[in-house]
Amino acid sequence: MIEIRKAADRGVAEHGWLSSRHTFSFANYFDPEQTGFSDLLVINDDRVAAGQGFGRHPHRDMEIFSYVLEGALEHRDSMGNGSTIVPGDVQLMSAGTGVAHSEFNPSADHPVHFLQIWILPSESALGAQPRYQQMHVNPQEKRGQLRLMLSPDGSGSSLALRQDARVYAAQLDGDETVSLALPSDRYAYVHVAQGEVTLNGIRLTAGDGAKLREEAALTLADGDSAEVLVFDLRARETTLK
């Protein structure tokens, strides 16, 4: 079964300096039918104006994944980490017992467009020490293939995620095709970050998403400047305490 989440149906937050679209319930946006999917809790599609950003704020027991599509995002946190991430960079902050961070657009002229994604940590990882990881992935590593970005064990030069989940990224054009087998104990979520692509025969455009349950596989094809994130998740419904 494939359940489509159209871009136009997402939650909207307009704050002048920030334009955000929420795939799942977040902050002042609440939809009881969209409270996450398996261990995937948040996909926020954010555009931050030049010279603006999120001031220092805390997180606890959450895996927070930032993925820049255009522009640059400056990160500072209470662990002493500081970096500016750009397209191709992958940043993962495991909040654990607690961490505070800020995110800022350092450009004086250009907005930054990025995805911020939250994944629930495993029960055994609750209360773990905070940690920060970052890497750069060249475009050719995602071209016409699913490049593993996050995994439980950091395999395949991925970042180590404190959950039984895997996150892939792919860039697709023309006749490029990628597939991922989905065993009976796995769900998947597909998010189209940019461009257009076909998922198992269904056309999706930028901002669209899809929940996959009880599907043997997913296939992405017929891309038009497509950049896609694929989440391989446990076959469970989201239950928030």
List pLDDT tens digits, range 157-207. 999 999 999 999 999 999 999 999 999 999 999 999 999 999 999 999 999
Share of the chain above pLDDT 70, in %: 99
Q: Residue 17's pLDDT is what?
A: 95
Average pLDDT estimate for 75-101: 92
Could you count the other beta carbons within 10 Å of the beta carbon of residue 146?
21
Give CA 233 to chain center in angstroms: 13
CATH number at residue 124: 2.60.120.10
Q: Is residue 241 part of a domain?
A: no
Tokens 């998010």 locate to 191
Per-residue pLDDT, 241: 47
Q: Quick check: is 133 in a domain?
A: yes
CA dist 67 and 22 (Å) reads 15
CB 117 within 8 A of CB 43: yes
**Does residue 51 register a pLDDT over 90?**
yes
In a domain, 146, yes or no: yes
Encoded tokens for 112 = 């930054």
19 within domain boundaries: yes
The pLDDT, as a whole number, for residue 239 is: 66
Per-residue pLDDT at 69: 97
pTM of the predicted model as reported, rounded to 2 decimal places? 0.96
Q: Does residue 95 register a pLDDT over 90?
A: yes
When pLDDT is averaged across residues 127-138 and rounded to a whole number, the result is 95
Distance CA 39, CA 240 (A): 10
The answer as to whether 184 is a domain residue is yes
Give the C-alpha separation, 184 to 53, whole Å.
42
Look over the chain and give the mean of its residue pLDDT values, rounded to a whole number. 95
| pLDDT tier, 82 (very low <50, low <70, confident <90, very high otherwise) | confident
Residue 240 lies in a domain: no
Burial of 14 (0-12, 13-18, 19+ CB in 10 A): exposed
Q: Which of 71-85, 113-127, 187-201 has the lowest mean pLDDT?
A: 71-85
DSSP 29: B
**Average of per-residue pLDDT across 24-45:** 96
Top mean pLDDT of 73-77, 117-121, 122-126, 237-241 is at: 117-121
52 domain-assigned? yes
For residue 142, the surrounding DSSP H or E stretch is helix 139-142
Asked if residue 239 belongs to a domain, the reply is no
How many domains does the chain contain in total?
1
Q: For residue 240, what pLDDT is reported?
A: 61
3-state class (DSSP) for residue 140: helix
- Residue 136 domain boundaries: 2-234
**What is the DSSP pairing of strand 178-181 with strand 131-136?**
unpaired
Confidence of residue 237 (pLDDT cuts 50, 70, 90): confident
- Going by C-alpha positions, the residue among 101, 92, 16, 20 that lies closest to residue 55 is 101
Beta bridge partners, 141, equal: none
- CA–CA distance, 126 with 110 (Å, rounded to integer): 38
Query: 35-44, 81-90, 185-194: which has the minimum mean pLDDT?
Result: 81-90
Instruction: Tokens for 157, please give them.
Output: 């030069």
Residue 112 has pLDDT above 80, yes or no: yes
